[in-house]
Chains A and B, each alone.
Chain A
């Protein structure tokens, strides 16, 4: 497609703007993008064995330090304890109350974010390099000495219930929850849907127990990104290296049971909504499966970029939606494939029909070389951007560590991008996108 445009030597005009003397230059030659050889950052260890990944290439005096724990929802014995323990870290410690902690953090200009998801929990710190000592002392304090005070917990619970009730009005949230529940089962931590009563019955005792068991040095690794990351090692040793020499063990990940995924059609009614969220999906594969990288290329063709099959048809031709996306994603222990879009209520059946039509075409016809080249170049550019700048690299590295995909994951991925054939793409669609076995979720007004 691009070659055709390059052969045009003049610019026919569709507007009335007049051209000055002298024709504009012909289209430039486009250089095929490359992500180069990607190297995995160096690792050091603190005295107590905590791994520290050092990500260099900083240009400003700002450091990003993330402490990651195997302390996500899959480790919960009491529902919501992982998320709440994480959110309560900065609400009081054995030495400081919440107001003092916030005051100390804010005086440094640093930002501390507590994050928790299905598989992991982390404390992310971004700070001026000159404030590093103070900020790491505070990070150590909130991570290893939180007190989970009752008053702050009650306030937090009220806030979270309000946010939870608000989210019940969002078609996108309801459809997402219904999808994971159908895929993994209502009792599985990846599929379980929170209820208001879960928030109400949780206690600070539950959080203390969760914290004690999971927020351990031996259950943690650290990424440091910025200028001269190795210079932070003595400070990390000072604030994180002292704990855990007694060898408190690393908690074992539970064996997860998954419901047998059966194709279902689910309609979630949200009265009064002016749009419906459509989710069409399948059981998928995790990042270590040999087909996972190929599936990334396949879903990109279907719905992974602005000019994808689904975007061209459903947004640019039909105008049913502002956006439609296809993703082959993976929790640590469960992969999934999903197509998602928000459409006017009156278009939702038509949208489902068109999605299935596009999949059928990809199961039957091989993608042209032209389209393959486009997607290859696009994914190569995307991969290069995932390694542009130390903070971005830190995020990418975290994905590699958490999913245990091996340090050469992205070098293998760029090789897949270069070498995967249209025949293999077609095969992947036939293997993983069985239209008769799809989960079909719609959330919207009746």
Chain B
């Protein structure tokens, strides 16, 4: 059980504090409700590029990292399809410095062209390093436009194409900043050896003067139901074939999510799970086989991803995965399987409590999903999943018409 206190400032900034006296550190986590789903389809990758700009300095703090380091802190950020998240972990007696820095860049960011141009080059190299210069690195770039036709999840957070990043200009950066980077569109959570009342007072002092702005006014067209199998075959310079099968699921906050999340553990969450036992060891079709939820706020995907053994036809490999998924629709998972998945969930949950930074992020993330209390109430959601629910969810999800398939094959030499 994670105890926390909540307080909303008059400008709409939601502040959540978790007291953890076991650490001499404190983490401030600031989550902006802005991600790649909020981008213009002609300028994808922009939310992530903007995250880089947030480290570019302000008139009062020319180098963001300098005061963080002076305070003995570390900091970083990430962007995904839904959110952009920033954190600073530092000795708790420097909490005020972290709040000052976050407030400062929420309102006075340097968005000059020169700064932007530089980060465009950096992000271009990030794009190349992570997605183009890695074997199988472009799978994410291929999957999203195959699985989504309407919703902005059809591009990955890094963007569709390097050319989009090159086109970004400072006018759109300013618009993005004004629309999303304001108190009413963000959540501040703090975890560590700090007194909640002190944090609320400091938050008021540091953030209270920032105009609230407007909530982002997001209205996204939702993805229509997929009714036909989609298939894409590509050839690349890789040693082994790779199979992706993606199925549409419900939103993050839905019973569907918890049922399928527990199911993916039963299928591939540990060595004795079904896929390692059957697809890797018994049938010797795959060298690795995983299945996981993409986990986005809007309806997401459950994705099978497997590397195929040499000499195995990808169609046979796909047939075996399909057989396993169909089996779930016909026969209940066993009590022992459910028990294992629950035990694993319990260990992972406790593991995530080992770090105050992790708790701070999770509180903010649950709050943006609807309620920070989710950090505690989710446990019951997982523990109460039944074999019947898993069967029904499998029947609804693993349908041929709901599937997007990628056959990623070695180029012929």
Which residues of A (371-402) have their CB < 8 Å from a CB of B? 373-375, 377-378, 380-382, 384-385, 388-389, 391
Chain B residues contacting A27 (CB-CB under 8 Å) are: 60, 67, 97, 100
Chain B residues contacting A122 (CB-CB under 8 Å) are: none
The answer for the CA separation of A275 and B131 in the assembled complex, in Å, is 11
Give, as a whole number of angstroms, the nearest-CB distance from A56 to chain B. 11
A319/B122 contact (C-beta < 8 A), A108-B343, A111-B347 known: yes
A306/B65 contact (C-beta < 8 A), A24-B206, A169-B238, A374-B70 known: yes
Q: Which of chain B's residues has its CB closest to A390's CB?
A: B354
The answer for the CA separation of A388 and B63 in the assembled complex, in Å, is 27
Q: Does A286 contact B (CB under 8 A)?
A: no
Q: Let me know if B354 and A389 touch, CB within 8 A.
A: yes
Q: Does B253 contact A (CB under 8 A)?
A: no
Chain B residues contacting A19 (CB-CB under 8 Å) are: 209, 211
A33/B60 contact (C-beta < 8 A), A102-B271, A166-B135, A388-B24 known: no
Q: Let me know if A17 and B107 touch, CB within 8 A.
A: yes
Q: Let me know if A320 and B125 touch, CB within 8 A.
A: yes
The answer for the CA separation of A131 and B351 in the assembled complex, in Å, is 15
Q: Which of A2, A13, A343, A375 has the most CB of B within 10 A?
A: A2
The answer for the CA separation of A159 and B309 in the assembled complex, in Å, is 8
Give, as a whole number of angstroms, the nearest-CB distance from A304 to chain B. 11
Q: Which of chain B's residues has its CB closest to A9's CB?
A: B60
Stretch at the interface among B256-264, B276-284, B387-395: B276-284
Q: Which of chain B's residues has its CB closest to A128's CB?
A: B347
Residue in contact with B310 in the complex, picked from A36, A162, A322, CB distance below 8 Å: A162
Stretch at the interface among A59-67, A73-81, A186-194, A430-438: A59-67
Q: Does A30 contact B (CB under 8 A)?
A: yes
Q: Let me know if B60 and A380 touch, CB within 8 A.
A: no
Q: Which of chain A's residues has its CB closest to B21's CB?
A: A59
Chain A residues contacting B346 (CB-CB under 8 Å) are: 109, 128
Chain B residues contacting A62 (CB-CB under 8 Å) are: 347, 350-351, 354
The answer for the CA separation of A408 and B273 in the assembled complex, in Å, is 45
Q: Let me know if B63 and A1 touch, CB within 8 A.
A: yes
Q: Does B103 contact A (CB under 8 A)?
A: yes
Q: Let me know if B135 and A102 touch, CB within 8 A.
A: no
Q: Does B94 contact A (CB under 8 A)?
A: yes
Q: Let me know if B281 and A98 touch, CB within 8 A.
A: yes
Encoded as 1 (CB less than 8 Å from any B CB) or 0, chain A from 7 to 44 comes to 01001111111111011110110111110100000000
Chain A residues contacting B124 (CB-CB under 8 Å) are: 319, 344
Q: Does B233 contact A (CB under 8 A)?
A: no
The answer for the CA separation of A109 and B272 in the assembled complex, in Å, is 11
Q: Let me know if A381 and B91 touch, CB within 8 A.
A: yes
Chain B residues contacting A22 (CB-CB under 8 Å) are: 209
Q: Which of chain A's residues has its CB closest to B265's CB?
A: A106
Q: Does A305 contact B (CB under 8 A)?
A: yes
How many of B's residues come within 8 Å of A, CB to CB? 99
Chain A residues contacting B120 (CB-CB under 8 Å) are: 319
Q: Which of chain B's residues has its CB closest to A373's CB?
A: B70
Q: Which of A32, A163, A307, A322 has the most CB of B within 10 A?
A: A322
The answer for the CA separation of A381 and B25 in the assembled complex, in Å, is 10
Encoded as 1 (CB less than 8 Å from any A CB) or 0, chain B from 331 to 367 comes to 0000010011011111100110111000000000000
A382/B74 contact (C-beta < 8 A), A12-B108, A320-B125, A389-B354 known: yes
A274/B132 contact (C-beta < 8 A), A5-B62, A30-B94, A388-B24 known: yes
Residue in contact with B343 in the complex, picked from A33, A61, A128, CB distance below 8 Å: A128
Which residues of B (36-60) have their CB < 8 Å from a CB of A? 55, 58-60
Encoded as 1 (CB less than 8 Å from any B CB) or 0, chain A from 267 to 283 comes to 00001111100000000
Give, as a whole number of angstroms, the nearest-CB distance from A142 to chain B. 12
A57/B72 contact (C-beta < 8 A), A15-B109, A106-B272 known: no
Q: Which of chain B's residues has its CB closest to A24's CB?
A: B209
The answer for the CA separation of A58 and B124 in the assembled complex, in Å, is 43
A60/B353 contact (C-beta < 8 A), A27-B100, A108-B343 known: yes
Q: Does A165 contact B (CB under 8 A)?
A: yes
Give, as a whole number of angstroms, the nearest-CB distance from A380 to chain B. 5
Q: Does A158 contact B (CB under 8 A)?
A: yes
Q: Let me know if A5 and B61 touch, CB within 8 A.
A: yes
The answer for the CA separation of A317 and B239 in the assembled complex, in Å, is 38
Residue in contact with A11 in the complex, picked from B59, B112, B276, B355, CB distance below 8 Å: B59
Which residues of B (182-207) have their CB < 8 Å from a CB of A? 182, 205-206
Chain A residues contacting B347 (CB-CB under 8 Å) are: 62, 109-111, 126-128
Q: Does A334 contact B (CB under 8 A)?
A: no
The answer for the CA separation of A16 and B175 in the assembled complex, in Å, is 10
Q: Let me know if A24 and B103 touch, CB within 8 A.
A: yes
Chain B residues contacting A34 (CB-CB under 8 Å) are: 91
Encoded as 1 (CB less than 8 Å from any B CB) or 0, chain A from 343 to 354 comes to 110000000000
Chain B residues contacting A33 (CB-CB under 8 Å) are: 71-72, 90-91, 94
Q: Which of chain A's residues has its CB closest to B127's CB?
A: A322
10 of the cross-chain contacts (CB-CB < 8 Å) are A2-B70, A11-B59, A14-B59, A25-B100, A36-B24, A106-B340, A109-B346, A152-B281, A162-B287, A385-B89
Known pairs A15-B109, A320-B121, A385-B25; list 8 more (Cβ under 8 Å). A14-B108, A24-B206, A59-B20, A109-B344, A272-B237, A322-B129, A373-B70, A381-B72
Chain A residues close to B by CB (< 8 Å) = 1-2, 5, 8, 11-20, 22-25, 27-28, 30-34, 36, 57, 59-62, 90, 98-99, 102-103, 105-111, 126-128, 131, 152, 155, 158-159, 162-163, 165-166, 168-171, 271-275, 305-307, 315-322, 342-344, 373-375, 377-378, 380-382, 384-385, 388-389, 391
Chain B residues close to A by CB (< 8 Å) = 11, 20, 22-25, 55, 58-63, 65-67, 69-74, 89-91, 93-94, 96-97, 100, 103-104, 107-112, 117-126, 128-130, 132-136, 174, 177-178, 182, 205-206, 208-211, 213, 237-240, 270-273, 276-277, 280-281, 284, 287-288, 307, 309-310, 336, 339-340, 342-347, 350-351, 353-355
In the A-B complex, the 8 residue pairs with the closest CB atoms: A33-B72, A319-B121, A381-B72, A109-B343, A102-B272, A165-B239, A102-B271, A322-B126
